[in-house]
Each structure stands twice: as structure tokens, then as C-alpha cells.
Structure 1
Amino acid sequence: MKSITKRLFSALLFLSLILGAMHPAIGQNNQSNSQSGTGLNLNFDIFDGSYYSDPLGIQLAARQLPYDGTIDKSTYELGVNDLLSIRVEASKNFFIRGVMVNPAGDLIIPSIGPVNVDGLTISEAEQKIKKESEDYVKNASVVITLESPRPIYIQVTGGVPYPGKYMIPSQSRVDQAIYSSVTDGSRDLRNASLSNSSDFLTKGNYAYRNIKIEREDGSVEYADLVSYFRIGDAEFNPKVKDGDIITLKKQNIETPKVSISGAVKADYEFQFIKGDTPEKLLQIGGGFEVIADTSYLMIFRRTDTGAEKIIVEPENWDTFKLQPNDRVVAPFSDEKNTSASAWVYGEVEIPGNFPVYSGETTALELLELSGGLTNNALPQAAYLMRSGGFRNEIPNKFNADLMRRTSDQVIQGLEYLEAETKLSQNKVYIDLKDESQLAGLKIFDGDRLYIPRDENTLFVFGQVNNPGYFPYTPGANAMDYVSRAGGFALSADKDRVFVIKAGNATWYRPGETEIQSGDRIFVDRQPVEELNALRSYQIQKESIKNTRIQLIMTGITTITGIITTYVAIQNIRN
């Protein structure tokens, strides 16, 4: 016990000696810190260096803005509001974090003083600080890190709705620089965000392929945002610099255009600029479709006598110079589209996705590929859904608005037309038992054939006592199924019983069609009258009854008067 106490006392004594030795250094550090009004400066002599941090600079760094790409130390010119970190390696090292270039263009470096770096590249600033620090440290190595580049000012002019001066993040490209000038005119740098192609290419009728950028040194560059967004090459969307003047013009009806269409990923018409080639337009169009004929391109050019067709071979696509209003068309290949397919669902032997020749394969051939119908299929309820693509679109597509213009329909009739527009126009009803119909029905890429299961039931609903599914019995009529459903309900309209066919949902009177499995039987109800309307009807009914009685009484009175007059005349004669 005594030995443990002795060891503990020795350890405490050693710790006290260490703290006593460090106390002067800590006091000296605290004194140094109290003298530094701009930051925290700790001289850690035992670590052979110093560390300096500017609290204001750190706060500003927390608000740094997004910027594009990395900084090139050999070309980026420092200026007011750039936020830097500086590391000096020498016999006595020190590190400065979060120091900002002040409005005079100076960096305030402890022990060295102000160093003007305005207009210098980062590499040049490193050499200047090294030279200025020679009185403090010898043979120093200076490394500057750009913590946060300063925002820059640019001027946007031309036909934009919000011209003027804008402050944007450093390293911004032309698309971001002009974004606010064509959208909302916002000058709030905190709302800076990356724009997207759909925003630009649809915001006004502007000449996005010929944006002029005038630099402070007098040089001029041009941006082509259509090519940038369509191709993705940053060369068409250069970075802007402080003091740039950007001019964006409006297009008009006379602005020359070119287009790319045909067997390409995206048909597109846009502004013509000098130097356009078929190769460039093909890139803007996203390249060839799989079914394209890539052996040539067709150029259609307007002449005084009509339209001229020019065939351009692949080796000339990047050198052939287009003229204003040329139209480039990529031809389709004569080969069949081998990627086309159609789906078969439901009661077939092999449901799935099958290869087809779009517009050539028939429904009968598709059914044979799927192995034919199973014993549980309900052929009369089968239907085909078109894919709805542009190439498969139904020629006589239903357009209620167009038909309404010259129609003499009443309001209710127009409402019915409106309801018809909500029906699926891509649904094709087929009879799988009719091979001639199947052989004449063409299948297109993406079509879907549905064959429901035959559950050997009928659905009885409406004004019956027990609506629901009932087993199908061949030869049974509609009244037999109504009886199975508990008979007519109290409000049933016995004169309005209908058979609704499976598949096409066509309504028939019971005697007009053969009842089959999957059909539905509907019993309508007598009209439900609203209370006030019923009372009004009863009052009108009583009023008509009273009027009728009055007419009868008036007639009887008139006849009685005539008879009385006749009798009186006869008595006088006698």
C-alpha cells in the first residue's frame, strides 16, 4: 500500500513540473493572441512553425458558390474577394488559412505585411510572396491554394428581356451567365444554379448558336449553346471572365435555318451559322437510328427552279459546307427492323415477347408463335392494344374538338363526344375464331395481345336481389340468370334488361344476341326522382287533372244550355 502511494505521489510531482515548464509558453501565446485583433496566431515553437486563421475569411468560405471545373494556377488571375490559403515552408514554417484579397488587392500576411497580388496569376503571386518574405525566412517555398474564387461581373446585352450587369460565380460558362437575363432577371447570387438544355432551347426565340463574347482585352469569342447541349462539347460553351460583354440577339422570320431529320435520334430545326456541315448536324440530331441507311445523306436545297437534292457520301460529311436553309435528311434502310417485337399475354401456350416484322407480321402468325390458345381461353373477349407510337398511330384518330366545330349537336351530345375522347383509341377488338380477320390484321412493334381466361361464369348486376357471378349454362336465357340472382329488385325496370358482351362491351337486348361465357347481364332501375321534383310533378299532375275536370264541366254546362234552349224553342212553337 505504501509503495502504491509513493508511486502516485511521484507521478503527480512529475506532472506538476511539466505544467510549470509549459506555463510561460502558454502565457506568451495568450498574450500574442490578445494582441492579434484579426485572427488566431499560435506560435508552436516545439512544432517548429506557426498557424494563422482568419475567422472572417472562414465565415465567407462557408458561403462559397458553386463553380465549374478546376482552377489553372498558371492562368487564373487573382483579384478582390479571392479567398486563399498560404503555406510557407522554410527553416520556420507557417500556414495561413482563409485570408481574403482586400479591396486594395492586398493580402495581409502576419509578420510580412500587405502584399499586392491583384492581377497576378497564382504562380506569380507565390513568387512575389516568396520575395517579400525573405526578410523573415530564408529560402522559403510558398504554396498558394485558392479556397474559393471570387464572383465575377459580366454585362448581358442584346434582345434579352433583362439586360444589364450580373454577378455570377467564377468559372461560369456562357449558359449560366445569360440564364437570368432570359428567364426572371434575378441578380441574387445565392440562387445561382446550373441550367439545363430544355430551359434554354425553349426560352424565347433567341440566336443561341451565335452568342458574342467580348473580352476586356478586346478579343472576341462566340458560343453555340445548341451544339453544346446537343453534343456536350464544352468548346461550344466557353467560360466567361470578369468584365465580359455578352450579346444575345433575337431571331426573326428571316433568320436562316437548317434542319436534320429522317432516320436520326432527334429531328431538329435550328439557326444556321457559317461553317455548318452534315457531320455537325448529324451530331446535333443524336446520330443515326438503328434502321438508318448510313451510306449517304441527302441535302435538299431551295433554288430558283424548285428544290435540288444533293447526295453527300460519308467521306465528305465533315467538309461539305451547308448553305442557309439547307435541309439534311438521313434515309431509312430498306432492311427490315429486326428489333421489333410484340407481346402476348394470358391464355396461350407460350405467353411472352416475340419477334415480328413491324407492319408485316399478322395477328394469326403472332398467335401461332405463342403456341395457340389453351383450353381455358375466352376467345371472344380477346383484344389487341397498339403501342401508340407515331409510326403506329391510327390514321383517323378521334378528335372531338374538330368534329364539334361544324356539329349541330345539343349540349348533351357534345358532352357525349367529350366522353368518347377518354376512351382508348389504341384498342383493337378481334375475334380469335375468325382466321381471315387474324390473317388481315397487321402487328406493329410494341403491340400487345391479351387473351383472358374463361371462368365459365356470367356477371349479373343492377336491380337484382343477389348480384354477382353465376355459372354459365349453355342455352340459358337472360331471365334464367336473373332468377338465379334472386329475381328483380323493387326498383327494377323490367323492360330494360341488357346483355353486355365480353371484350367489346357492346349492349344488346336479350333476344338480339346469344349469351356466352364472360358476358354480363344488367337490369336497369326505374328513374330516381328528387323530392322537390317529385312534389312539383305531383302538383302539375293534380293541376292538369283539375283543368280537365273544369273543361268537362264547362262542356256539360254548354251542352245543357243548348238542350234547354232547344226545348224552350220547341215549346213556344207548340
Structure 2
Amino acid sequence: MKIYIYIKILMMCAILADTSADINSIDPFDKAITSTLLDKTIDPDSYILGPGDELDFLMVTSSNIINERLKISYLGDVMIPSVGKINIDNLTISSAFKLISKKCNDKIQNSSVEITLSKIKDFKVLVLGPNNIPSGYFPVNSSMRLVDLFDKIILLYDTQNSEESSINRISSRNIIIENSNRLNHFDLVSFKMDGDIEGNPYLSPEDIIKLDYIKNTVNIFGAIMTPGQYEYSENDNLEKLIAIAGGFQNNADLNNIEITRYKNPLDKEIILLNRDSFSSFMLMPDDDILIKPLTDYKLKEYVTIKGEVKNPGRYSIDSNITIKEIIDRSGGYSRNADSSKIILNNEIINNLGDRELNRILALDSDSRSDLDKSYMRARARSDRGGISNADFNVNSSLMSNYKLFDKDIIVIPKKYDFIEVIGAARNPGRYPFIIEKEVEDYIDMAGGVTGNSTSKYYIIQSGTGDRIFYKDFKGSLNSQDIIFIEEKNDYNSFDRFKDIIQITSQVLTILAVMNNLSQ
């Protein structure tokens, strides 16, 4: 009993291992064809019967009823009880049915025969091609067309040759099917474009499919739906290539098509075409086609307004619209808007770059002049082409009438009323902004200064980022200003002593040199 259980376990492990191998396989041809999906009803006058096809057969005689599933043998025969063997290999369904009915009536007079096709055959076709293109015999069935097999071969090729497939692509416009010494050429790109079924035949036994790599290409760019490189096929015209590439974009200039063509391996020529020449102009390998776009075609310009307005979003504009008009179109300020502040930026302008800043950044820090450092500080406070205004009034400010550019971004910030006290304060942090309060009042709110204070205060203005010494500050504080109380620097006593000694020795050296020179 134990031996029997042990054998059963081994058998189950073998079955599971085999199943796992099937599941993990990536070869789309590693399994037999298990289902039949038809794209249309089978035509009995064109479908050719052969080994593997099955027929449902019903014959009613005066004394008997024969109901059989007839399988066409590997020799092309079917065996019918009471009738015998009938060879129907390579006959159409209609011809085979007539032959079977005649043979049955010849054998059994006054018999009634009904026949139908119940299962179509699986078979193999031979695929040939250069190195790395999957080749050999592949399982198919009578309902499969050329495109079905080709797509599976492409999948297998891309899986097995991930790097090679990006360089050498299999041609889909130069496929040859050989059968009974007849050669037929097929173009699957054309079939996928116009659906002409003649370009995508059913596969048949003894078919030999010959594949090759793409050898010639043309390029099409510009105002076309899918610009890029396409396989060239003999007798292609410009109209067909445009159709393959998905047609024109709406802004295409159809009367200004430019073709660059090689006259020889070195020299090129430019050919100009209009829309009347598309169907008559024949392409050549390596042609470059440029479909020029109309830049101003239905030109779309817009600005984006964000933040505290009633209807933020993207707004279409013309060339004369102002900041005030956009704020009005967006419904005006929201309840929480800080109407005294506005930020204007343009990412396209900012991305133009700043050559002066790049020049300064390329210098060593020691080589930068005071002017260079000042420029760096100025640029750090503002983006190129941007404005940040903390004294804005939509109805009276000059800025409200500024003309906007395409892709401008306007930000209306939320109102936050506070003053920040930092540095040598006992309780640094954020404190409510009160209009009538002075600098000393906010320092008192922060608990006064610490013993480490230098007693030097600075105002950092929120609108401009300017740092102003307190004694030079005129005017009143604004919301979000910063009060900075300078702290004493911490020094290491020994390091300070070394610095003093070094400076003293340098001074004495200079005095000694000057004394010698005077003598």
C-alpha cells in the first residue's frame, strides 16, 4: 500500500512539473490549436477538405439509419458503414458532399444522405527566413489567416531577440506564400489599412511562408498623425504613405509638401508638391517627406490663473488682454485673497535661461566680483520673466494694465496676516500682524532679546526680499515681513588667539620691510 501511495505522489509531481513548464512558456506555438474562431461562415465552394477535417454524416435507408462522425484519414479517405472508403482529399466541401451522396446512392438505392462540416483541420505550415527570424513548421488551422500567423511570429521574434528586433524589423509588406510552385506576394500593412481580404488569405496545407527583413524605408514627418519611418514597397505613391501614416493633422499645409530625394549616394534634391500630385507622385527608397505645418492655424494662446480667485483655471486669450481683465474674467477675488499681492511667471520665458548667471556660475567662487555676487542674489529672488508685487491694486496699479503673454501663470496668494521674529529673540516665531504695532512691539511679543544679541535689528520685506537696517527703516511694517535680530558669532578663544598672532606677525613684517626701504 505504501509503495502504491509513493508511486502516485511521484506521478502527481511529474504532472505538476509539466503543467508549470507549460504555464511559464513564452512560445506562442508550443501548444496545439485548441479552439476555432471564424471570421465568417465557411464557404463550401472554396474550402478544401483534407486530413483532420471531420464531417457529421446521416444516411436514412428503408431499413436503417446511419449516424456517424466521419474523420478524414491521413490518406484523405472517409470510411462509411455499408458503403466503404471514399477519397475526398483536396475536394471542396460541395464537391465532396456530391461525391459521397452519389457513392451512397450507388450502393444503397433510395437512401437519403445529409452531411455537414463539424470540425476543421489542424495542420502545419513552413515558415522560412534569414537568421534570427523564427522559422520551421508551425501549427495552424484552416480558420487562420496570414496576419494571425505573422503576428505570432513577430511576438516570438521580439521575445527572443529584444535587442535585434529594435534594429532589424521583419518586413510585413514583402511576404511571399509559395504553394504548388505558385508564388504570391502579400502586403499586410495595406490589408490593415484598407481591409482588402485578398491581401490576407487563409492558410492552407503545404503553404510555405517566406519572410525577410525590411530593406528599404521612407520617412515622413511634420503635420502627420503618426510621423516616423515606414517600410517602402514598390509602386507606393505619396497618397498611400499618407494614408498608412494616419492622414494629415488639421494644420497641414497641403500645398507645400517637401520631398528630399537622393539622386545618387551623395547628392540630394528637393522636390516641392501640392495636393494635386499626391496620387501620381511615386515614392523611392530613402525619401524624406516633410508635411509642413501652418504655425498660425487656429493658434491657441492661454494664461492660467491660480489661487484665490472665484474661478481659477486656464483662459484663452488674445494678444491684448491685461492682468485686470483676466482677474475680472475669473470672477474676481475670493474671500480669502490677499488682493495686495500678485505673482506672475512664465515657464517658457524662464526656461530660456540666463547666460549671465551661467557665466558667473562657471567661475570659481574666489573669482567672482562683488557685482557677480550681487547679480546672483538678485536672480535668486526672481525667476526670469516673472513679477512678484506686494503693493498691487487691481483697479489702480500700473501693473494691472500689463499685457499678458501666452502661457503666463498668475497666482493670487491667500491672505496670511503675520510678522515673523527670528534670531536672538527669546521666543522666535510667528506673531499676528497688527497695523499699529512697531518693531519694538513685536520684539516684546517675542519675549525680548537674548544676551547673545548684537542689538542690531533688520527688516526683511516680504514683497521684495530687501534687508533694511532698522535705523534706516522708514515707513510701517507689512504683513509677512521678517524682523531679524542679529546674534553674536561664537568664537573659539584659541582660534581667535591664533588669528591675532598671525595678523600681528604680518603687520610687523610689513613695517620691517618699509623700514629697510626707507634706509
TM-score under structure 2 normalisation?
0.60
What does residue 275 of structure 1 align with? 235
What does residue 56 of structure 2 align with? 86
Moved more, 513-522 or 101-110: 513-522
User: Is 1:184 matched up with 2:154?
Assistant: no
User: Is 1:246 matched up with 2:210?
Assistant: yes
What does residue 171 of structure 1 align with? 145
User: Is 1:322 matched up with 2:294?
Assistant: no
- The one of 291, 294, 299 aligned to 2:254: 294
Identity of aligned residues (%): 19
For residues 354 and 185 of structure 2, the distance between their equivalents in structure 1, rounded to whole angstroms, comes to: 46
Structure 1 segment 97-136 matched on structure 2, within 5 A? 100-107=71-78, 115-134=86-105, 135=107
User: Is 1:331 matched up with 2:288?
Assistant: no
After superposition, give the CA deviation of every residue in 1:413-440 in whole Å (9 maximum; x if it has no partner).
xxxxxxxxxxxxx997544648669846
Give secondary structure in 1 for the equivalent of 2:154: helix
What does residue 156 of structure 1 align with? 128
Contact 1:127 1:142 in 2 (8 A): no
CA distance 1:77–1:481, change in 2 (3 Å)? farther
Structure 1 segment 1-40 matched on structure 2, within 5 A? none
Instruction: State the AA in 2 paired with 1:312.
Output: N
User: Is 1:312 matched up with 2:274?
Assistant: yes
What does residue 443 of structure 1 align with? 406
Contact 2:258 2:270 in 1 (8 A): no
After superposition, give the CA deviation of every residue in 1:283-333 in whole Å (9 maximum; x if it has no partner).
13322222223345333334577532322333x311221233332222333
Structure 1 segment 500-519 matched on structure 2, within 5 A? 517=479
- The one of 179, 184, 193 aligned to 1:216: 179
After superposition, give the CA deviation of every residue in 1:68-98 in whole Å (9 maximum; x if it has no partner).
623532433233334x45264867877656x
CA distance 1:126–1:394, change in 2 (3 Å)? farther
Structure 1 segment 410-421 matched on structure 2, within 5 A? none
Contact 2:423 2:484 in 1 (8 A): yes
After superposition, give the CA deviation of every residue in 1:126-145 in whole Å (9 maximum; x if it has no partner).
33443344346723232224
Which one has more relative contact order, counting CA pairs under 8 Å at least 6 apart?
2
Deviation for aligned residue 1:452: 3.6
User: Is 1:76 matched up with 2:38?
Assistant: no
For residues 439 and 93 of structure 2, the distance between their equivalents in structure 1, rounded to whole angstroms, comes to: 93
CA distance 1:330–1:64, change in 2 (3 Å)? same
What does residue 139 of structure 1 align with? 112
Deviation for aligned residue 1:481: 6.8
For residues 168 and 463 of structure 1, the distance between their equivalents in structure 2, rounded to whole angstroms, comes to: 85
Contact 2:51 2:121 in 1 (8 A): no
For residues 515 and 238 of structure 1, the distance between their equivalents in structure 2, rounded to whole angstroms, comes to: 81
What does residue 571 of structure 1 align with? none
What does residue 356 of structure 1 align with? 317
Contact 2:124 2:137 in 1 (8 A): no
What does residue 34 of structure 2 align with? 64
CA distance 1:349–1:245, change in 2 (3 Å)? closer
For residues 397 and 100 of structure 1, the distance between their equivalents in structure 2, rounded to whole angstroms, comes to: 82
Contact 2:191 2:200 in 1 (8 A): no
For residues 133 and 479 of structure 1, the distance between their equivalents in structure 2, rounded to whole angstroms, comes to: 120
Contact 1:478 1:510 in 2 (8 A): no
CA distance 1:373–1:164, change in 2 (3 Å)? same
Contact 1:348 1:370 in 2 (8 A): no
Q: Which runs of 5+ in 2 are unaligned?
A: 1-30, 366-382, 486-491, 499-519
For residues 374 and 259 of structure 1, the distance between their equivalents in structure 2, rounded to whole angstroms, comes to: 52
What does residue 568 of structure 1 align with? none
Give secondary structure in 2 for the equivalent of 1:248: coil
Deviation for aligned residue 1:246: 1.8
For residues 326 and 38 of structure 2, the distance between their equivalents in structure 1, rounded to whole angstroms, comes to: 56
Deviation for aligned residue 1:118: 3.4
CA distance 1:108–1:302, change in 2 (3 Å)? same
Deviation for aligned residue 1:152: 3.2
For residues 477 and 225 of structure 1, the distance between their equivalents in structure 2, rounded to whole angstroms, comes to: 82
For residues 481 and 340 of structure 1, the distance between their equivalents in structure 2, rounded to whole angstroms, comes to: 47
CA distance 1:516–1:336, change in 2 (3 Å)? farther
Contact 1:477 1:510 in 2 (8 A): no
Deviation for aligned residue 1:397: 11
Contact 2:302 2:314 in 1 (8 A): yes
Deviation for aligned residue 1:157: 0.7
Instruction: State the AA in 2 paired with 1:76.
Output: Y
Instruction: State the AA in 1 paired with 2:159.
Output: D
For residues 112 and 485 of structure 1, the distance between their equivalents in structure 2, rounded to whole angstroms, comes to: 114
TM-score under structure 1 normalisation?
0.55
Give secondary structure in 2 for the equivalent of 1:331: strand
After superposition, give the CA deviation of every residue in 1:443-481 in whole Å (9 maximum; x if it has no partner).
14xx76543432445789999999997544458789977
For residues 431 and 236 of structure 1, the distance between their equivalents in structure 2, rounded to whole angstroms, comes to: 67
Give secondary structure in 1 for the equivalent of 2:315: strand
Instruction: State the AA in 2 paired with 1:143.
Output: T
Q: Which runs of 5+ in 1 are unaligned?
A: 1-60, 187-198, 410-425, 524-540, 549-574
Instruction: State the AA in 2 paired with 1:86.
Output: D
Instruction: State the AA in 1 paired with 2:213.
Output: K
User: Is 1:370 matched up with 2:370?
Assistant: no
For residues 114 and 464 of structure 1, the distance between their equivalents in structure 2, rounded to whole angstroms, comes to: 111
Give secondary structure in 1 for the equivalent of 2:211: strand
For residues 368 and 518 of structure 1, the distance between their equivalents in structure 2, rounded to whole angstroms, comes to: 24
After superposition, give the CA deviation of every residue in 1:112-135 in whole Å (9 maximum; x if it has no partner).
665544333333333344334434
Give secondary structure in 2 for the equivalent of 1:184: helix
Contact 1:459 1:521 in 2 (8 A): yes
Moved more, 208-217 or 274-283: 208-217
Instruction: State the AA in 1 paired with 2:34.
Output: Q
Contact 1:264 1:289 in 2 (8 A): yes
Give secondary structure in 2 for the equivalent of 1:300: strand
Contact 1:209 1:273 in 2 (8 A): no
